[in-house]
Amino acid sequence: MYECDRHYTLNEGPSGATCVDGRWSPQEKPKCIRGSHPQVRWDRSVREKREAVIRRQRRLDVNRTKRRKRGKRKQKSYCKPVESTPWMDVTVLKKGWMSNSLASRGTVIQVTCGWGYSLNIGNRTAKCAAGRWKPKKPECITST
């Protein structure tokens, strides 16, 4: 089975190969070009040979059309930043982009609380998604 990296698609050459008597047929290798990544499905022939067949899902195109007709939901793509304080250290692990006033969708931060404080989320990381920090906005609260 030939597969291209994400965002690439098979362009020239065979989409798959079959092993017959210990040899792959055809021996020609395909070329990948930048584009969308098609879905891969497996077909089994009568002789129990396996062959990979690559096809695009028409269902995806239908869903895109329906979504356009209904209208696109407007999502916030920015979160209010979580800033470091004397009792809370904030490190950006994955950068969407951050400014003094906003953090973009996809930004991942790690928070460490100082002595005498505990973090309000179980995991020390939070991610900006749909305009909110997930699981929730991290804060260091006084330990009791």
User: Does residue 135 have a cis peptide bond before it, meaning omega lies within 30 degrees of 0?
Assistant: yes
| Of 85, 83, 125, 119, the residue nearest 106 (C-alpha) | 125
Q: Is the pLDDT of residue 35 over 80?
A: no
How far is Cα 139 from Cα 103, in angstroms, rounded to an integer? 16
The predicted pLDDT at position 28 comes to 75
Q: Is the pLDDT of residue 66 over 60?
A: no
User: Residue 130 — pLDDT band, cuts 50, 70, 90?
Assistant: confident
Query: Is the CB of residue 16 less than 8 Å from the CB of residue 55?
Result: no
User: Residue 71 — pLDDT band, cuts 50, 70, 90?
Assistant: low
| Of 111, 107, 108, the residue nearest 77 (C-alpha) | 107
